[in-house]
Amino acid sequence: MITFEDFAKLEIRIGKVVSVEKIVEANKLVKLIFDFGDEQRQIIAGIAEFFKDPSALIGKQMPVLMNLEPKNFKSYESQGMILAVDIDGRPVLLHPGEEVPAGSIVR
């Protein structure tokens, strides 16, 4: 169990995918650029094998954990983490039920 104060430390915002590209050096990785209204961030995600056409993600909104320490994957820096549901090892991406402003805070 965590406290509400622990949960409140998480900064989760809705970002809109503006570009996606497969990372050639790694079969499972894609580089996503998200728009958060006041900034753009690069997120590296291990979802390539689950999307035949990752470019279909362009324009989609999804929640991103913003205040996660940056991490390098194959020399690419990931500046956050997308949130997804894990169904038997397959990610199901989360999306708001309606279009919201980029950068909206998830509470």
Domain harbouring 41, CATH code: 2.40.50.140
Question: Which of 100, 85, 93, 84 lies closest to 13 in space, CA to CA?
Answer: 100
Percent of the chain at pLDDT > 90 equals 93
The answer to whether residue 103 is domain-embedded is no
Q: Could you tell me the residue range of the domain that residue 15 belongs to? A: 4-93
Specify whether the CB–CB gap between 48 and 27 falls below 8 A.
yes
The answer to whether residue 102 is domain-embedded is no
Cut 0.85: pTM above it: yes
The answer to whether residue 29 is domain-embedded is yes
- The string of pLDDT tens digits covering residues 44-77 is 999 999 998 999 999 999 999 999 999 999 899 9
The answer to whether residue 105 is domain-embedded is no
The counts of H helices and E strands in the chain are 1, 9
Question: Which of 44, 36, 45, 40 lies closest to 15 in space, CA to CA?
Answer: 36
